[in-house]
Amino acid sequence: MTVKGFCAGAAVSAAASAFVLSAAGQQSSVNPSFTAEQAGAGRQVFQTNCATCHGADLSGGPYAPPLAGRAFVDVWSKRSTRDLIESIRTMPPANPRMFDDDARLNLAAYILQTNGIAAGPGRLTLTAADALASLKTSRPAVAAATPATDTQSGPPPCPDVAQSQTAPNSARRGRVSGASASEWPVYGGSSSNQRYSTLAAITPSNVTSLGGAWATQLPGRTNQTGLTMSNGLIFVPTANCQVVALNAKTGEIVWEFALPERPARRGVAVGNDVGLVFAVGSTGSITAINAETGKSMWTHRLTPDPAHGRPANITSAPTYARGVLLVSISGGDSGRRGGVSALDAVTGKEMWRFYAVPQPGERGSETWPNNEMWRAGGGAVWSPPAVDLELGLVYFGTGNANGNPDGLLGQHPTKHPGPHPSHAGDLRPGTALFTASVVALDLKTGAYRWHFQLTHHDIFDMDVVTPVVLYDTTVGGRARKGIAVLRTDGYLFLLDRVDGSPLLPIEERPVPQDPYQVTFPTQPFPVGGDQVVPNCVEPWLMPPGFKSGCYFTPLNQPNLMVPYIGTRQAPMAYSRDTGYFYMAASVNPFWATRFGIGFGEPGQRSYGLISAVDSRTNKIVWQQRSSYPLGHGGGILATAGGVVFQGDADGNVRALDARTGEPRWQFQTGVGAASAPFITYELDGEQYIALAPSGAASSQGGLGSAQSPGDMVWAFKLGGRLQPQAPPPLPPLVQTFEGRGVVASTNQIVIDFTERDKDTIRPPGFRIDDYETFEPRRVEVPAGTRVTWKNTGHEPHTIRVRGQIWTTGAIKPDSAGSIQFDVPGRYVFTCESHPWQQGEITVRR
């Protein structure tokens, strides 16, 4: 999967080994020169902008590769400082060239220092071309990787976090004993992941009386955080490396616990029978906390994957079931293998681990090519598993195949030199088990039981990310144990969770083919099932110059927009009363090629959908539309009272009639609420609805992204007296040029042409990935300025100002053309032969 988080900072891909070294024969043999001052400044820039994706210690994360250690050194020790600086220039993917020259040099200095090169008296400059052969790593090679122990050092502690402390007992009011239907101990509400509660006090007829019961400001911000509740306490991890326990009746802080690293975003799990709260860190730390006192009971760090020696990445809340803690391992987009680890909840000892990509000789390895692709094969597990305690089985979905050991993620197609891992199918023929699948394992042993692959040879980024849901049903008059699995394109697959066989028919259908990407001839589809999102990009959502694509359209055109994200990540709910599944979706077009995915092109639009699908027929019962994408958000909560809840990027939380979809209530939280999952619980006979609206982005590329961060937990009840807040700044409905490159004060623009399709086996002259680029893409000039375009490409180009008759005329290679701008305003310019390429000129008075 390409986007499960939103990195605004710089990124230096280890995969930049694909860069051509234009100065390879002129590299200096001396160590690169930089000052301690530059490295220190670079550290500040990195921690502020880059650590979320690349890890605070540069060891890599779920969305970006490592910038230190063996994997980085193996690639970059053959490169030069010039290549490193140039790579930083193309980052971050969402905002290339965000950093000025000084920031790029400082970042490069910090990366070099972290990798064993000492600072000196001379400053690093843009013209430096020193070889990086002296890069060092103290991290073990793959063959030398050893099991981690509880005492092994991990990433550095989070800064400025106080030690664990317990509030006075006076905060401990309204406690209940034992786990029950009135609690919410795990992310999905229960081990079934239904996000359903039997609480029924809040109904369509009285939900208008719902008001704020309490609202608590946390000591740190939240980010896509799911709450858990048990024994009268709500547990919430924060972005400043803490787990905070709140009194579920009053919102008072009971205790705070300092974690060793930043927690995975989506929450913690509670084991009532062992009295522990389990928090997982983003690079593999696991901590058990006493639920009563907030004291540490044990810690464990997952050992690196022996396939490559890289640390585990975790982006999901864990799941607890009968003494077993299940931890989902992601990182599939950054050159890792995904999987699931099971730990003894009392001792922290790892019981078993399953990798979604098998090594040679293991079950499923025959579906991978006979090369090293499996080592970085992907198959990330992005969401909490579900567990059937009666069957003793654990179930989870897996992400897209990868196969690129350097791990490229979401690079803009005009900015990155290497093939995107999940799109470059020609590099890894085969169905690539167990990626893009649902897998069932034995809970106690991790032994394989069954699988069902939803996308064969995935080159479309069709992760199974939405948490799978267990439910019971009747088919043909016979009781069956079902599992619902949602594919990214909006199709729901209903299987028997005993053996993986279809409950409702599924067939293989032909899909469009591209022999150069080794597309698989067929893909599975539910027979008669409704697709909850449009299958193809609606033309009105696209900027001018692009072509409309569909799900499973081969990415073999330079200006193709395809549907993206759809039904992915946002958890769905299942109501035992209606028999409906409720799901949140995004309708997003994105510019996609074999070499990457654009991060929202100016003029692009998107929207969201909430759908109810009947489990007995797989047909849509009702849909509601949102102005903002919802597929990357907090999903739906269903209750026995006949009400479902969802949040939106405009700050409103809403209640809908579960049977009809009719809106019944809304409340303004003051911060974007699309990414916050709801929970419900009961204390002293009152039903509460709670969430932590985080303001985090609900879609890639800016559309639907809330404009204000969140640090509050809200709880609602009937008769609650807290009033709605002022709305936050509204997210844009149309993508603009804001954030799409630095605005340069110049009247000179270079038209360049990047040819990157040389590594594919295509007919001569057939280049689908040649791109015209503008450098800079955005400029600002005073009125009366003549702006000049210099053509450094190999074919003529004509620049035209959109909405005007102004044009440069044909500009031949190595020639220039210009246009006079006299009237203040903002103007979009394009190339007549490549109208999807666009830039912006701001003319000031």
pLDDT computed for residue 69 by the predictor? 74
Output the six-digit token pair for 258: 């300092």
Rounded to the nearest 10 degrees, how much is the dihedral formed by the CA atoms of 698, 440, 230, 279? -70
List, for residues 365-409, the tens digit of each pLDDT value: 999 988 888 888 899 999 999 999 999 999 999 999 986 554 433
pLDDT computed for residue 1 by the predictor? 44
pLDDT computed for residue 309 by the predictor? 85
CA angle (39 as vertex; 33, 43 as ends), nearest 5: 155
- pLDDT surpassing 60 at residue 175: no
- Name the DSSP letter for residue 629: -
| Class of the domain covering 182-718 | mainly beta
What are the residue boundaries of the structural domains of the chain, listed by start?
A: 14-139, 182-718, 743-844
Report the relative pairing of strands 276-280 and 269-271 from DSSP bridges: antiparallel
DSSP-based three-state secondary structure for 207 = helix
CA dist 657 and 450 (Å) reads: 37
DSSP bridge partners of 478:
475
Q: Which residue has the higher pLDDT, 545 or 175?
A: 545
Q: What number of other Cβ atoms are within 10 A of residue 412's Cβ?
A: 25
Please, what is the average pLDDT of the chain? 84
CA dist 704 and 702 (Å) reads: 6
Q: Which residues contact 291 (CB under 8 A, 6 or more apart)?
A: 230, 231, 233, 235, 245, 270, 275, 276, 277
User: Of 536, 377, 406, 423, which is closest to residue 769 (Cα–Cα)?
Assistant: 423
CA angle (516 as vertex; 511, 522 as ends), nearest 5: 20
- pLDDT surpassing 60 at residue 218: yes
List, for residues 250-273, the tens digit of each pLDDT value: 999 999 999 988 887 789 999 999
pLDDT computed for residue 534 by the predictor? 98
Output the six-digit token pair for 806: 């102004």
Q: How confident is the model at residue 599 (pLDDT cuts 50, 70, 90)?
A: low
- pLDDT surpassing 80 at residue 192: yes
- CA 618 distance to own-chain centroid: 28
Q: How confident is the model at residue 316 (pLDDT cuts 50, 70, 90)?
A: very high
- pLDDT surpassing 80 at residue 574: yes
Q: How confident is the model at residue 764 (pLDDT cuts 50, 70, 90)?
A: very low
- Contact at 8 Å (CB) between 519 and 512? yes
CA dist 316 and 263 (Å) reads: 9
What residue has token string 């394109």? Answer: 489
Q: Dihedral sign for Cα 500, 503, 508, 514, please.
A: negative
Region 641-654 average pLDDT: 96
- Contact at 8 Å (CB) between 285 and 298? no
Task: Compute and round to an integer the Cα radius of gyration of the chain.
Answer: 26
Report the share of the chain in percent with pLDDT over 70.
Answer: 80
pLDDT computed for residue 404 by the predictor? 57
Lowest mean pLDDT of 84-98, 179-193, 280-294, 682-696, name the range: 84-98
Region 698-709 average pLDDT: 47
- pLDDT surpassing 90 at residue 799: yes
Can you identify the CATH homologous superfamily of domain 743-844? Cupredoxins -  blue copper proteins (2.60.40.420)
CA dist 793 and 44 (Å) reads: 38
Instruction: Provide the phi-psi class of 409: left if phi over 0, else alpha when psi is between -120 and 50, else beta.
Output: beta
List, for residues 429-479, the tens digit of each pLDDT value: 899 999 999 999 999 999 999 999 999 999 998 999 999 999 999 999 999
Rounded to the nearest 10 degrees, how much is the dihedral formed by the CA atoms of 456, 459, 461, 467? 10
| Class of the domain covering 14-139 | mainly alpha
- pLDDT surpassing 60 at residue 147: no
User: Of 567, 595, 519, 589, which is closest to residue 759 (Cα–Cα)?
Assistant: 595
pLDDT computed for residue 578 by the predictor? 99
